[in-house]
Amino acid sequence: GAVVSQHPSRVICKSGTSVKIECRSLDFQATTMFWYRQFPKQSLMLMATSNEGSKATYEQGVEKDKFLINHASLTLSTLTVTSAHPEDSSFYICSAKDRTGGTKIVSSYNEQFFGPGTRLTVL
């Protein structure tokens, strides 16, 4: 249980194009989803927090006009990397937090469950 999926798992694009990554909670409802970026040999860095039906909150240093986040439903959040450049190449991972009092799957509303990640390569 508590499964989070991401699509695509891997994407290669040309510099200047935009790429959309989807994050879905498959068996629970997530009022909050998070987007992380992970560079090789480094840990996860939070980019933004996404709440269903409201604007995302971005971490310091993350350009909100470059990384567009939409959280249109309780099971779907999307991250669009606009005008991607080679330095945007990274491993992007989303996570979802179960609603308080939600499914029986999770034991605590504080737990975040992660997707499998999307490897973005910008040529």
Residue numbers of the site for other proteins (CB under 8 A)? 2, 4, 6, 32, 34, 42-46, 49, 91, 93, 95, 107-108, 110-117, 119
Q: How far is the CB of 16 from other proteins (least distance, A)?
A: 26
Cβ neighbours of residue 105 under 8 Å, at least 6 residues apart? 1, 2, 27, 28, 98
Q: How far is the CB of 79 from other proteins (least distance, A)?
A: 14
Q: How far is the CB of 65 from other proteins (least distance, A)?
A: 22
Complex with other proteins: residue 66 or 119, whichever CB lies closer: 119
Q: Is 61 left (phi over 0), alpha (psi -120 to 50) or beta?
A: left
* Closest residue by Cα to residue 92 from 29, 50, 46, 41: 46
